[in-house]
Each structure stands twice: as structure tokens, then as C-alpha cells.
Amino acid sequence: MTKMALAIHGGCGVMAKLDLSQAEWEAARVDLGRALKAGWDVLTAGGSAVDAVQASVVVMEDSPHFNAGYGAALNTDGQHELDAAIMDGRTLAAGGVTLVRRIRNPIKAARKIMEESDAILLGGDAADAFARSAGLEMVEPDHFTTERRVRALASMKAHVAAGTAAKASEAEKHGTVGAVALDQEGHLAAATSTGGYNNKPVGRIGDTPIIGAGTYARDGVCAVSGTGKGEYFMRYAVGHEVASRVKYLGETVEQAASQVILADLKPYGVGAGLVAVGADGSVAAPYNTDGMFRGWVTPEGKFFVATHGEVFEPSEQHAMDL
Ligand code: ASP
């Protein structure tokens, strides 16, 4: 039996510590813990890495604290256009959706596409129609809208009008959710889901559904899920780049992931982060912003969640609630 591993992120668009109340930070950490628990339960029951990453991402899509599914960012027209992808490192099979507006859990549609479609990536109305005919739960687009995102859009538009968009905080700009896992059989998988970034152009597609950019998994190498300014993740094919460094340079997952996020992308001054898990179960979670919602489980089954530098073990009460 291989060592299992699981790591998740809820985006590197984390606000400054003082911008949220203690209760709000706590609530976000509780949901990170719930997402970890959903994935870890799959792994400990002998389930696949693909099932585990999907289970973790579904919890974060349904949480208002992260920019994916319910609580997703709005584009410049005040609409949601959601992206998601999943990849099975065992077969290199992958599926993704882009610009979808009515699928409650876009990651479930990505999974269906991976398993039931010839295509890897479906977009827009056709992707919504595919999900509907696959029997997935559909919602009205305003299901995804939260007060916080409406305020964030207004604030970003004000920045644009004042010519200060570049100064807007990372939290106002973006976020994403993702998970990577290694299962008992040694297979790797990655899943990522996002609303993109706040005030993004209509029709803009990010890195999340692009296999090799925001989402990548390959058995024997690593699984990667990214968050940050997607255009740079696409230019650098970040997921594949991290995997290539591991595979061809023999770097550890930590070395490879840090090199790409902290060094290669540095000159661009854009927010970026990722979670990665190696074939040996090692986990990396570098980010270059003030913080990144993240969590991981040690091989002994200990849970850790964090938003900024400080790392928390979900409290006993919360562990019981999970
Ligand atoms: N990577 C996402 C995108 O560009 C957004 C983010 O993670 O901040 O769509």
C-alpha cells in the first residue's frame, strides 16, 4: 500500500488578516477542514485519487468562502462564467468545462466529460446542456452570487474608474479551489474549479480548465492544481512545468513548485500559488501573495489548515462536527 496524500487550496486571493473578522476566518477554515475530510474519507476507504479530489472540490464549490461554484467571482457584466477541470494521473484522462453558468458543481461536469465524452473541454451553453443531459444538478445563475462578490465587483470597477486597478488587493482580484491526491494504489489526480477573477472580460477563459496549465496529474510524477493570474499559468504551462522539473530534472515537488511560483513568475508581479503532491506523497503549497487558503493531511491522518503564515489543526469541536 502506498502512502496516501491529500492537499487542497481555496485560492491565493486571500485578504489581509484584518479585513475579515475572526469568526469569518474561522468559518473559512472550518470549510477547508470539511473539504479535507471529504477527500480523506474517500482515500482511507480505498477510493481513487480522482474520487477524492472531486469530493474535496465539491465541498469548496458549495462553500461561499471561496471563488468557485457558490460564491464565485463576477465578470465585468456582473455574470458568472465558471471553469473547472479534473485529471486522472493513471491514464492521463482529463475533462473540463469553461464559461458555464448553470451547473451547480462544475467539477462534476468536468468528471462526466472525462468519462463520457470524446472531448476534453466543453464550453458555454453546450457544456451546460451536456451537464443537464448527464443528469447533474442545474441551478439559476444567481445561485452562485453572494453579497461579498457583488461588493468586490463594485470596488474593482471603482478602482478601474480611478485608474488604480493594479493596486487592488489580491482578494479583490481572484481565487480558485483545487485538490491533489495520491491514493492507496499510488495513483495521482488533480481537480480545480474557479469563477476566474473579479471583473474579468466576458468570455475570458482562465488556466483552470486548461490541462497542463492550472490542472495536471501524471502518475509517477506529481499532481498540480494552481491559483493565481491564469494568463501566466497558461504561458508557463505551470502544471506541466512543475511536472517536467520533477520528471526530467529530478527535483522534489517542493523545489519544482517553488521555482515556478516564487522565481519564474516573480518578474510579473502577479498573484500565484499552487498545491502539488508527488508520487512519494510529498506535498508542496507555495504562494507569493499575503496568504493562500490551504490544507493538507499527513500520512498519519493529521489535518492542517491555513490562510496566512499560521497553520491550524482543526479544533476538536470542529473535528467532531466534520
Ligand atoms: N486561476 C484563476 C483564473 O485565472 C483565478 C485564480 O486562481 O485566482 O481563472
CATH number of the domain bearing residue 295: 3.60.20.30
10 lines ligand 1 (CB under 6 A): no
The confidence score (pLDDT) of residue 1 equals 61
227 is catalytic: no
Atom number, ligand 1, closest to the C-alpha of residue 196: 9
The pLDDT-based confidence of 211 (bands split at 50, 70, 90) is very high
Query: In the predicted model, what is the mean pLDDT of residues 280-298?
Result: 95
Atom number, ligand 1, closest to the C-alpha of residue 174: 8
SS3 content of the chain, % helix, strand, coil (to 5): 40, 20, 40
227 lines ligand 1 (CB under 6 A): yes
- Work out the mean pLDDT of the chain and round it to a whole number: 93
The confidence score (pLDDT) of residue 317 equals 44
Instruction: Give the active site residue among 98, 176, 227, 289.
Output: 176
Sequence-separated (6 or more) residues with CB below 8 Å from residue 229: 173, 174, 197, 268, 270, 271, 272
* Residue range 214-233, pLDDT digits in tens: 999 999 999 999 999 999 99
Kindly give the distance from the C-alpha atom of residue 238 to the centroid of ligand 1, in angstroms, as a whole number.
12
Percent of the chain with pLDDT over 70: 95
Q: How far is CA 224 from CA 123, 132, 139, 274, 276, in A?
A: 22, 29, 29, 7, 4
Percent of the chain with pLDDT over 90: 83
172 lines ligand 1 (CB under 6 A): no
Number of domains the chain is built from: 1
Kindly give the distance from the C-alpha atom of residue 204 to the centroid of ligand 1, in angstroms, as a whole number.
11
Kindly give the distance from the C-alpha atom of residue 270 to the centroid of ligand 1, in angstroms, as a whole number.
11
291 lines ligand 1 (CB under 6 A): no
* Residue range 137-170, pLDDT digits in tens: 999 999 999 998 999 899 999 999 998 887 776 6
Bridge partners of residue 182, in order along the sequence: 5, 188
Residue with the three cell numbers 476566474? 196
What is the domain extent for residue 13? 5-321
pTM: 0.96
> Mutation test of ligand 1: which of 97, 199, 207 has the most ligand atoms closer than 8 Å to its C-beta?
207
The confidence score (pLDDT) of residue 320 equals 46
Does residue 318 surpass a pLDDT of 80? no
Least confident of 50-59, 168-177, 300-309: 168-177
